[in-house]
Structure 1
Amino acid sequence: MIKARADGIADRAISKATAFPSSVQTPSLRLTVKTFIEYPTMVGSAFPASHWLVDRMLAPIDWQRIQLFVEFGPGTGAFTRAVLVSLPPSAVLLALDTSEAFVDHLRASIDDPRFEAVCESAANVAAVLRERGLPSADCILSGLPFSTLERYEADRTMRASRAILASNGMFCAYQMRRTIKPLLETYIGPIHSAFEWRNIPPCHLYWAEAGLGNQTVGDHR
């Protein structure tokens, strides 16, 4: 019943896709809506990220120093594909998602030797890196909906993130709500923030810098 309802809602969403930028692909939109209906606490939004959100979120990253980029909750890969455009040839992009459907979609649609998608919880990222012999992450990007995560799971994820983040690394997050802000301040370091209206839904953007102490530097718009 839930699957059939999700299929129907996804089809109706696609019929209205003209409201979205032309870069939105129908299979990705359908899968995102369907998975959101089936697992609403696991997926941050029913729609893929807009190019405005992607561009603004990734703009502050110093790509030349990135050797390992970790993405939590890649979904259908709007951010993943943009990261791969800027990622150095020798770097690695490791994406973790608990949805087998999203992971299968990414593996089937992205052919890049720098990229690997893993069906695993973000809280277990340290074990995933150890298994693959990967170094500390220079950047972590998270689209996980921290407002729907149990506090214990949110704390586990942030502790694991800090453990694998390089001393001068950055944790980036795009969120519907502000739940992640105090977690970033506690576990990662000082933050910068912004807000992007040109997305469905509009999102808060956060960039937290590791190794600079836990003192908030304030918002900028």
Structure 2
Amino acid sequence: MKKESFIYQYLFNPRSVGAVRPSSKFLSKRMVEEINFKDTKYIVEYGPGTGVFTEEILERRNKNTIIVLIEYNQVFYQLLKGKFANVSNIIIIFGSAEYVQHYLMEYNIPYADYIISGLPFASLPHYVANEILSNTLSVLKTGGEFVTFQYTKVKIPFMRNYFPKITVKKEYRNIPPAYILHCKL
């Protein structure tokens, strides 16, 4: 089993990898379908893993849009660095989403229009999830949106503490099926 495989990373890093396989193309499309790519300047992605959502974002984005990837898993970080080495306007950071504010300041990025998340909130320690969502609010542009997916609805009440307006959709063509949460203030 290669250490780059999703299942290997899930088995040995279950807190940072929430699935045994990458998200489906169907889920990727649903995660980004409501982004206004024409007018978006900054998109941040938490936990891009092998980059399936990133690929969908890059395919649709305005070429001037800056994409910031924050990956906590060292193996996936290295994979992303190689995969997107020749892509313009992409910043790949090895770190934790709870420090998003610091990272954006470091790169002189004033805000995020959209934050797309592949983080497994159900398996994150509560204090880490709190920090991530709190700092997400601090960098999200007024009218911006936080989009995440989860395999259960168990964390929705927790997320409503930060985002009172959450629209939930389900993508059945993913293994396992996933709930897509569009979170707004």
Runs of 4+ in 1 over 2 A off after TM superposition: none
**TM-score scaled by structure 2?**
0.94
Q: Is the 8 A contact 2:31 2:53 kept in 1?
A: no
**In the alignment, what sits opposite 1:45?**
19
Paired residues, what number? 184
Of the candidates 165, 168, 178, which is equivalent to residue 193 of structure 1? 168
Whole-angstrom distance in 1 between the partners of 2:154 and 2:38: 31
Could you state the TM-score of these two structures normalised by the residue count of structure 1?
A: 0.79
Which position in structure 2 is the counterpart of 1:17?
none
1:129 is aligned, of 104, 113, 125, to 104
Task: Name the SS of the counterpart of 1:65 in structure 2.
Answer: coil
Where does residue 37 of structure 2 map in the other structure? 63
**Cα RMSD for the two superposed structures:** 1.4
1:92 — aligned with what? 66
Query: Secondary structure at 1:33's aligned position in 2?
Result: helix
**Contact 1:158–1:183 (CA under 8 A) maintained in structure 2:** no
Structure 2 CA distance for partners of 1:179 and 1:92, relative to 1, 3 Å: farther
Matches within 5 A, 1:143-154: 143-154=118-129
Q: Higher helix fraction: Structure 1 or Structure 2? A: 1
Structure number with the bigger relative contact order (C-alpha 8 A, sep ≥ 6) is 2
Q: For 1:144-196, what per-residue CA distance to the aligned partner results, in whole angstroms no more than 9, with x for missing partners? A: 00101111111111000000000010000011122432233221331111111
Give, in whole Å, the separation in 2 of the partners of 1:134 and 1:174: 25
- 1:82-130 per-position Cα deviation (integer Å, ceiling 9, x unaligned): 1011111111110111111111101101121111111111000000011
Percent identity, aligned pairs only, is: 28
Which 5+ residue runs of structure 2 have no aligned equivalent?
none
The one-letter code sitting in structure 1 at the alignment partner of 2:80 is L
Larger Rg: 1
Question: Do structure 1's residue 171 and structure 2's residue 146 form an aligned pair?
Answer: yes
